[in-house]
């Protein structure tokens, strides 16, 4: 079953070269944060390039439920915010669909206001652990009541008299860090978050852009972020750069399909997100960055990817994991077409994403004739080299958009087609994936 109804099997076959321009959607992380911070500012925030996938649309609906006005007119999103501490109590349950980012950030944003909200999501999201966010939010004075194991549906009772918090994030998670910072906005004094391993820093950059007083410094404990509470956030005009996690799919497809040459314009190259591109270059990928520039505090460029027949397996350093955590599924596909083994360590977080992504990729790759080993926080793909990957398998996606897209990309270069049991979840992050890929020349269709 798809997250949105009956299962939608899909099939991908090898065909001609992929060529042209891939206008991938806006960055999902920045899209979520633009809506939430816009709702917490005073005045109108205008957003162009917003990712209009279901995950982000669910966050827009949630911001309306908390009292902000959120409208889309002529391709621009207009958010009239209610100010820090101005959220009203929602009348209905907040359904965050498939989005772990959405639900965790929204919980943080409301946790220091004296309101109560109940959150739910689809079957995948209801399995994901929320305690990692609820535990630090409890330090502010919020209370959470959920299912066994800290799972949705969950009711969060915001703190009437929040206190500032000093919190060391136990696992590398931008979602947890961001939830604590958003909660800190409506707490008095200074909230401090310490992360031992740096994670994507969109929240810090965007909080500063909206006028919050936020200072980051490196200490022996790790990266220390200090936020001064109760600011008046200023509305912004935001041009959302295109999502590097979505760009990964046409880029990686171009690397493994003979004769391909694909340009992906205006890709966000935040160093806390660009680990995949660094890894691919180490593998021998033909990637070039053109027109390097700055978009609203975020580095961006036009990325060109060309067929790379001589890819080599590499060992990805564990400290790079946080900057490419969502890209390991598609990297493992590219690794199948490289010579030698690709070793991925420090990836425990993949076990608790929309699915257990390590287990899902191992099963699908092995069914397609690729040898893979895995452990609690590692995975090794034994590459077969260009032209040698059998394929011919049906991969289970487990309602996970990145698993679905990864195996469809794989099928564009395997000897026999690859099928997936359900492509419905792709709409959560990359609703135009099928049309974009077929526009480049890919043979992807509903089975």
Instruction: Report the catalytic residues.
Output: 326
Residues pairing with 77 in the sheet: 47, 72
- List the structure tokens of 54: 């279901």
The tokens describing 321, both together, are: 């994991």
Contact call for residues 241 and 30 (beta carbons, < 8 A)? yes
- CA 169 to chain CA mean position, Å: 19
Helix (H) or strand (E) holding 427: none
Sign for the CA dihedral angle at 131, 132, 137, 141 comes to: positive
CA 249/CA 407 separation, integer angstroms: 10
Tokens, residue 309: 């027949």
Under 8 Å between Cβ of 253 and 18: yes
Tokens of 9: 């099997």
**Spatial distance between the Cα atoms of 191 and 206, rounded to a whole number of angstroms:** 17
281: number of Cβ within 10 Å = 15
- 132 Cα distance to chain centroid: 17
Nearest 5°: the CA angle 39, 40, 44 is 55
Distance from C-alpha of 341 to C-alpha of 348, rounded to nearest angstrom? 19
Q: What are the tokens at 390?
A: 């059998």
Helices (H), 195-257: 202-209, 244-256
Say how far apart CA 32 and CA 17 lie, in whole Å: 34
What is the spatial distance between Cα 182 and Cα 179, in angstroms, rounded to a whole number?
5
Is the CB of residue 347 less than 8 Å from the CB of residue 328? yes
Tell whether the torsion through CA atoms of 318, 320, 321 and 322 is positive or negative.
positive
Give one DSSP letter per residue of 17-86, joined into a string: --EEE--PPBPHHHHHHHHHHHHHBEEEEEEES---SHHHHHHHHHHHHTT-EEEEETTEEEEEEE-TT-
């Amino acid at each position: 079953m798809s997250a949105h109804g009956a299962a939608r099997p899909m099939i991908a076959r090898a065909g001609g070269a992929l060529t042209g321009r891939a206008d991938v959607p806006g960055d999902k992380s920045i899209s979520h944060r633009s809506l939430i911070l816009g709702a917490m500012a005073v005045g109108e925030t205008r957003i162009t390039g917003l990712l209009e996938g279901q995950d982000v649309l669910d966050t827009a609906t949630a911001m309306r439920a908390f009292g902000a006005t959120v409208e889309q007119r002529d391709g621009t999103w207009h958010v009239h915010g209610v100010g820090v501490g101005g959220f009203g109590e929602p009348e209905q349950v907040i359904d965050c669909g498939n989005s772990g980012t959405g639900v965790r950030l929204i919980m943080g944003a409301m946790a220091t206001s004296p309101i109560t909200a109940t959150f739910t999501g689809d079957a995948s999201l209801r399995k994901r652990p929320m305690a990692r966010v609820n535990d630090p939010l409890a330090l502010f004075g919020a209370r959470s009541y959920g299912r066994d194991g800290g799972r949705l549906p969950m009711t969060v009772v915001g703190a009437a008299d929040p206190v500032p918090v000093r919190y060391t994030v136990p696992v590398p998670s931008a979602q947890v860090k961001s939830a604590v910072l958003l909660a800190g906005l409506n707490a008095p004094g200074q909230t401090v978050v310490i992360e031992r391993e740096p994670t994507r820093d969109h929240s810090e950059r965007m909080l500063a852009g909206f006028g919050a007083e936020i200072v980051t410094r490196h200490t022996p404990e790790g990266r220390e972020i200090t936020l001064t509470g109760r600011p008046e956030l200023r509305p912004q005009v935001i041009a959302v750069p295109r999502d590097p996690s979505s760009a990964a799919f046409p880029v990686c497809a171009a690397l493994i399909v003979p004769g391909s040459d694909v340009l992906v314009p205006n890709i966000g190259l935040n160093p806390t997100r660009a680990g995949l591109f660094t890894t691919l270059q180490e593998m021998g990928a033909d990637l070039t960055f053109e027109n390097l520039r700055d978009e609203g505090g975020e580095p961006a460029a036009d990325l060109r990817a060309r067929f790379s027949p001589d890819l080599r397996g590499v060992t990805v350093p564990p400290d790079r994991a946080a900057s490419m955590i969502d890209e390991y599924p598609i990297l493992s596909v590219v690794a199948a077409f490289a010579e030698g083994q690709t070793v991925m360590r420090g990836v425990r977080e993949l076990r608790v994403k929309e699915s257990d992504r390590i287990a899902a990729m191992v099963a699908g790759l092995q069914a397609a004739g690729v040898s893979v080993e895995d452990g609690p926080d590692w995975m090794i793909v034994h590459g077969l080299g260009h032209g040698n990957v059998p394929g011919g398998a049906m991969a289970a996606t487990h309602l996970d958009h990145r698993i679905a897209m990864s195996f469809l990309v794989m099928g564009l270069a395997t000897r026999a087609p690859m099928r997936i049991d359900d492509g419905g979840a792709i709409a959560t992050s990359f609703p135009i994936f099928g049309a974009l890929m077929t526009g480049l020349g890919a043979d992807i269709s509903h089975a």
